Amino acid sequence: MRRLGRWRVLALLAVFALVVAACSQETDDTTADTEAPTATTVADTTPTETTVADTTPTETTVAEMMLTLGAGVTEEPCDGGNPDNGCIYLGVLTDESGPFAGASAGLYGGQSLFWATVNAEGGIGGAFDVVLPADLKKDTAYQAEKLVADYNTIAEDVAAIAQSLGTPQTVAALPDYERDSTIAAPMSWWSGWAFVDNVIEFGTGYCFEAMNAIDWAAGAIPATGRTFETIGILEFPTDYGFDYAEGVKLAAEANGLTVAWEEMVIPVSAGGDPAQTEAVAKIVADPTDLVILVTGPSETAAIVGGAAQQLGANVPLFIGAAPSWNSALLASAAAPAFELGIYYQSSFVGGWDYDSVGHEKMRTAVTAAGFPANDFFISGWVSQYGLKAALEGAYAAGDLSHDGIQAAAFALTDVDYEGMMPSRSFAGDPNDVFPREGVIGGYSADATTGIATVQDFFVGPTAAGYDFTEACAG
């Protein structure tokens, strides 16, 4: 079992949001609104039990099985679900009116489509469908206090939290998640999640993603004939920026590179300059061989486009962290700059066109729903595999209470992401089990969302040798 490690919440985290949505394509919710039936939703977390002699799922109904059911799990089917299955209700704590508003529909849509696909394949154990109904989805406005309050309005009606958006917001809710033995999937990639119970994080943390990006660049950039000795970092003043920047500095030192400067970038949604004049001026006045962008898409467009306009052929290469890109940049004023081949992208998951079973299922579901390609669907979809594995484990153990789901989550040793990311374990010491793989993409006009894989999943030497005993930053 993992432990709650040392962490602190910087005041800036509550002020400046991680903005990945400024240039995003807006999408509608991908599922019809449904109401969690008041007659069947378990309001009391005290487990109930039903028993019969035959417990074979394929030959009996849910009511006839020997199962412990807890909050958010009913014998009655989901609205519109498989009539012979029970229902598992998940809650969503997202951001529909703050800096993540543009990403919210894609994230929720990816999660909803994931479970619709699972349900079509038989659900959990062939006995339970899983749904994320609209009345259990709350707009937290990216505010910690509101996320905690919103959680408590649905706590007795959900089996788990499918999306807990934001690092400081989720940290604020940890005492309540722990009180209720509620498992949550955080929508952030802070390295500190490795040391926190009651979360089922997904993907490589920002810090390891950055280490891999620099290790890759240390070989790939000189191979093109370019000099690679200096790095500049432009980052949001958040856990996202601090965690990623720390990984850059660790890998730079390991590779004999110099971090020449590190500058904060204020998100446009928090009052930052839409043209990012100061960031562009820093690149022009203090040239480096590589600039790291730990920003959102709108900031990326302004910085790369502005630097290319002023420096021409002398513009440096850029590597953006995973949330720095959105396919809408292809239609932005900065598009000609990206066409110069100067932009690369680090990530924890394969991009839209990546060849995997999971990606193919996701693309099929999104297309069938009539929505355009959007990388936020990827994050929403892939975030649910850990919860699916925990629910399957709890069902197999006959205990779908919060305690049973929590115990199953802590015991997970081989979560399969159907090739979208490498499989991983949640049991054991974080230094041994936390994922360290990353993937590198580069701008391509032929890629559906503008980024094509140039380096498949790998673990660089810095990430491989790092002694991971606490969060890199935060």
CB-based contact 316:342 (threshold 8 Å): yes
pTM attached to this predicted model: 0.84
Token digits of residue 176: 């309540």
All structural domains of the chain: 11-203+355-433 (3.40.50.2300), 206-347+436-465 (3.40.50.2300)
Distances (CA, A) of 254 to 77, 190, 199, 243, 433: 55, 22, 31, 17, 23
pLDDT of residue 193: 96
Q: Residue 121 — φ and ψ, nearest 5°?
A: -90, 5
Alpha carbon 396 to its chain's center: 27
pLDDT of residue 62: 55
Instruction: Give just the sign of the alpha carbon dihedral 111, 114, 116, 119.
Output: negative
pLDDT of residue 2: 38
Per-residue pLDDT of the chain (474 residues; tens, 9 = 90+): 333 333 333 333 333 333 333 333 333 333 333 333 333 333 333 334 333 333 344 444 555 568 999 999 999 999 999 999 999 999 999 999 887 787 889 999 999 999 999 999 999 999 999 999 999 999 999 899 999 999 999 999 999 999 999 999 999 999 999 999 999 999 999 999 999 989 999 999 999 999 999 999 999 999 999 999 999 999 999 899 999 999 999 999 999 999 999 999 998 878 899 999 999 999 999 999 999 999 988 899 999 999 999 999 999 999 999 989 988 898 899 999 999 999 999 999 999 999 999 999 999 999 999 999 989 999 999 999 999 999 999 999 999 999 999 999 999 999 999 999 999 999 999 999 999 999 999 999 999 999 999 999 999 999 999 999 999 997
pLDDT of residue 238: 87
Closest CA to 438 of 366, 344, 375: 344
pLDDT of residue 1: 37
pLDDT of residue 98: 80
